[in-house]
A and B are shown apart, each in its own frame.
Chain A
Amino acid sequence: GAVVSQHPSRVICKSGTSVKIECRSLDFQATTMFWYRQFPKQSLMLMATSNEGSKATYEQGVEKDKFLINHASLTLSTLTVTSAHPEDSSFYICSTTGWASGSHEQYFGPGTRLTVT
């Protein structure tokens, strides 16, 4: 399956600052990537769908001006949490889909743990 990396693996930032999380598809051209977040003891929740070269599609309740997504190449999507607050502290996970090549499964990155102090 596809190999997906994320950077950084964990980050601590102060309230009011912005944090950028990178998601890379290392061996697969990812026209579509997804961003999820997971609060402690809860399931993953889909935040947005990121399509290469176009605007991301956000799920209901996710502020697009707060969570900026850029998917400028087939191997890289970035999520920027702007003006982060303690309630944004969460585990952020990206995934790619093999749908375009006829495969159905999604491949997930290892996740980025964000702590906002």
Chain B
Amino acid sequence: DGGITQSPKYLFRKEGQNVTLSCEQNLNHDAMYWYRQDPGQGLRLIYYSQIVNDFQKGDIAEGYSVSREKKESFPLTVTSAQKNPTAFYLCASSMGRSNTEAFFGQGTRLTVV
């Protein structure tokens, strides 16, 4: 079945460590996105990529890094420079054309301990 998969669902990290969140899609979508959601809040855009080997910063890119070496994959690294990383992280993908909706993965809940 086609879809977008995030792993792991829950992740615990020690303060000061980098951690990478996985996002894979087999929908043949060109565009992929990473969002952060804090409790009771909306989605804030971290990074997005419209095409392989290209990505752009969103509104809250500081302390995060991404890569887009393959069309199917858009991993997000939360670095130690991110001061408050505990949040729910959502990955999405779309065809890239403006009139197509984005499909979301089930999210990764990251907790810094």
The reply to whether chain A is a binding partner of chain B is: no
